Amino acid sequence: MQQPAGQERSRDRQRRILDAAMSVFSRRGYRDASVDDIALEAETSKGGVYFHFPGKQVLFRALLDISAKRLLDRVEEAILRETDPVARADAALLTVLRAFAEHRSMARLFMVEALGAGSEFQTRLLEVHDDFINVIKRHLDDAVTAGVVDCPDTLLASRAWFGALNEVILHWLIKGEPERLEDAYDALRPLLMRSVGVKER
């Protein structure tokens, strides 16, 4: 069913504002970005921005939600292409590293620049972390059921996996090490696998 022209224009303007916000936040950081900057980049009025997003923090959170969902969907798609539980863990790990490597400015925005976005945003960020941790836990549980993983506490292991990955990405963003984020995979993979009783292949 075709959408009314007014709704289509509204969605187009909303997408344009989100794209502009991502560009402005990535260039200027959260603290220094302004709604005026975003309106100028989106080629709309400040009032037009506020009509869709009543504040900079709301815009920033919308970008986080969209970006997190896209990454989660990408991880799930990669996992579904595999049948072996260990191969699924490999696929998830590589997908996350590659996605962040491809979108460094976005990664820096949400992992470094977001520190000034307020406690409400930090609470939402922790919820996003839990979404990823729950994906890891679900597949670790499957691996335990299949008998290829020996892990008495899959939730704790999932938090440890996420924490290790988060730290590696954060170090890459701030220090630039390793030069290519994907290069961390060869060292990180056996550490994570051994932590749940999988012997390195």
Residue-wise pLDDT for 35-75, tens only, equals: 999 999 999 999 999 999 998 889 988 998 998 899 999 99
CATH number of 63-195: 1.10.357.10
Domains 1-54 and 63-195 share a fold: no
Handedness of CA 190, 194, 198, 201 (dihedral sign): positive
Q: Taking the model in full, what pTM does it have?
A: 0.84
Host H or E run for residue 31: helix 5-32
- Residue 143: both structure tokens together: 């691996």
- 193: pLDDT strictly greater than 80: yes
pLDDT-derived band at 9 (thresholds 50, 70, 90) equals: confident
- Residue 199: both structure tokens together: 């012997």
- Residue 12: both structure tokens together: 């187009």
- Residue 166: both structure tokens together: 């988060």
Of 47 and 121, the structure prediction assigns the larger pLDDT to: 47
Tell me the average pLDDT of the chain. Answer: 89
Q: Is 200 exposed, middle or buried (0-12, 13-18, 19+ CB in 10 A)?
A: exposed
- 134: pLDDT strictly greater than 80: yes
Q: Where are the domains of the chain?
A: 1-54, 63-195
Q: For position 105, what pLDDT does the model report?
A: 84
Write the DSSP symbol of residue 176.
-
> Average pLDDT of 134-160?
93
Report the 3 state secondary structure along 97-166: HHHHHHCHHHHHHHHCHHHHCCHHHHHHHHHHHHHHHHHHHHHHHHHHHCCCCCCCCHHHHHHHHHHHHH
- 201: pLDDT strictly greater than 60: no
Q: For position 118, what pLDDT does the model report?
A: 75
Q: Tell me the C-alpha distance between 39 and 50, whole Å.
A: 9
CATH number of 1-54: 1.10.10.60
Could you give the dihedral angle defined by the CA atoms of residues 84, 187, 101 and 70, in that order, rounded to the nearest 10 degrees?
30
